[in-house]
Amino acid sequence: MQPLAGIRVLELSRILAGPWCGQLLADLGAEVIKIERPGRGDDTRHWGPPFLADTAGAPTGESAYFLAANRGKRSVTIDITRPAGQDLVRRLATTSDVLIENFKVGGLARYGLDHAALRAELPGLVYCSITGFGQDGPYAHRAGYDVLIQAMGGLMSITGEADGPPLKTGVAIADLFTGVYASTAILAALRERDATGEGRHIDMALLDVQVAMLANQAANYLIGEVVPERLGNAHPNIVPYQAFATADGHLIVAAGNDDQFRRLCAVIGRTDLAGDPAYATNADRVANRERLVPALAGALATAGTAHWVGALEAAGVPCGPINHIDQVFADPQVQARGLRRDLPHPLAGQVPSVPSPIRSDGEPACADRAPPTLGADTDHVLAQCLGLDADEIARLRADGTI
């Protein structure tokens, strides 16, 4: 599936939010050209261990972190601090439909590669800027990192046990969501450009995304005027909808309606709870969770996780085990859906990856190119896109521009 075939994306981003956006566009068929610093490249290439091993078992220097976010791209090394490098990027922009960058506000202006500088010459370019706090406001010039954004954006205040410290999530969720929101905005801008010929300057801020991601918790505060607190694995608006200890582990029970709650009570032998007026509706159960949850916990602790999963599934009560990541990739549903894909790699022979979850008409959307080694495509892209010959490329390499 390649609905974006023919779209060229110039990616001047690093770390996670911008690369995640670029990878999603690559999975949908866009040609993504990633501009990296000569000699070092994207910082995340060095964020390990673990590092990918080559066919002889030696480390390649390619970190798992980098490999997670750069599938399907071409790597071109250009030193944009040099006038010749700036000229190369500007010329590549003239051949591109989209530019993604995550420099600090104003950071590209010194090189003549900011939106204002390019827009006059390239009015149809969709230019996406990703920063921590956006292009304006009192924090615009601050650096933004995911854990900082999770803290300032309220997520950590509602993550963790009620009597424990605030916690971040196990992945950089503000970065990842920003990448997804950015790709959506880019696709909308491309559709508009096709109709009007005009591009857009997309301003994506991690803080904006994090606040938007508060979703029902933000609405709980704005409407209910009560500040949400940490509830561990429990849900602020649904009971029971949380983790419970079993005789040999833990189980998630997600009884989202009254009928599921009654079936849960029948399976665990507590029909008295289903008949209690204090728990008749979800609103009642939320109001009385302090009494209800311990009663459910006591019943569920009497047998193992596998027993309860089998019995509750048979009764139509949503539930499941809490899997470690090795168990995730061993899960038959995950395997049936093809959520591991090995891609050919020039050093390692192949590299395992998690493909895009997008499917359309049964066809998965996933680039078939492994994340590139640093500068692997420099000569090819400069020759193909800009028409440079071998001597010109050799001169640029000799003077350190590429």
Full set of structural domains in the chain with CATH: 8-213+338-399 (3.40.50.10540), 241-323 (3.30.1540.10)
Residue keyed to tokens 């001169």? 395
| Dist CA 372 CA 377 (whole Å) | 8
Reply yes or no: is the peptide bond before residue 332 cis, omega within 30 of 0.
no
Contacts of 190 (CB under 8 A, 6+ apart): 7, 97, 98, 126
Residue 127 CA to its chain's centroid (Å): 20
Residue keyed to tokens 């079936």? 263
**Angle formed at CA 96 by CA 343 and CA 184, multiple of 5 degrees:** 70
Given this model, what pLDDT does residue 191 score? 98
DSSP annotation of 216? H
Given this model, what pLDDT does residue 47 score? 96
Give, for all 402 residues of the chain, the pLDDT tens digit: 799 999 999 999 999 999 999 999 999 999 999 999 999 999 999 999 999 999 999 999 999 999 999 999 999 999 999 999 999 999 999 999 999 999 999 999 999 999 999 999 999 999 999 999 999 999 999 999 999 999 999 999 999 999 999 999 999 999 999 999 999 999 999 999 999 999 999 999 999 999 999 999 999 999 999 999 999 999 999 999 999 999 999 999 999 999 999 999 999 999 999 999 999 999 999 999 999 999 999 999 999 999 999 999 999 999 999 999 999 999 999 999 999 999 999 999 999 999 999 999 999 999 999 999 999 999 999 999 999 999 999 999 999 999
Given this model, what pLDDT does residue 73 score? 98
**Angle formed at CA 198 by CA 196 and CA 199, multiple of 5 degrees:** 130
Contacts of 290 (CB under 8 A, 6+ apart): none
Pairing of strands 363-364, 359-360: antiparallel
Given this model, what pLDDT does residue 252 score? 98
Given this model, what pLDDT does residue 312 score? 98
| Dist CA 195 CA 394 (whole Å) | 41
Burial of 242 (0-12, 13-18, 19+ CB in 10 A): buried
Residue 149 CA to its chain's centroid (Å): 14
Q: Rounded to a whole number, what is the distance in angstroms from the first to the last CA of the chain? A: 33
Query: If DSSP codes are grouped into helix, strand and coil, which group holds residue 1?
Result: coil
Contact (CB, 8 A) for 13 and 73: no
Structure tokens at 282: 């979800």
Nearest to 22 by CA among 90, 124, 97, 134: 97
Given this model, what pLDDT does residue 20 score? 98
Pairing of strands 73-77, 31-36: parallel
Reply yes or no: is the peptide bond before residue 38 cis, omega within 30 of 0.
no
Contact (CB, 8 A) for 66 and 45: yes
Give Cα separations from 118 to 7, 110, 201, 397 (angstroms): 18, 13, 11, 25
Contact (CB, 8 A) for 206 and 144: yes
pTM metric for this prediction: 0.95
**Angle formed at CA 156 by CA 151 and CA 160, multiple of 5 degrees:** 155
Catalytic one of 42, 175, 208, 377: 175
Given this model, what pLDDT does residue 305 score? 97
Contact (CB, 8 A) for 203 and 111: no
Given this model, what pLDDT does residue 132 score? 98
Is 259 considered catalytic here? no
Structure tokens at 231: 């509830």
DSSP annotation of 199? -
Query: Helices (DSSP H) in 239-375: which residue ranges?
Result: 258-267, 271-274, 282-287, 289-300, 305-314, 325-330, 332-336
Nearest to 92 by CA among 391, 377, 390, 394: 377
Given this model, what pLDDT does residue 32 score? 98
Given this model, what pLDDT does residue 143 score? 92
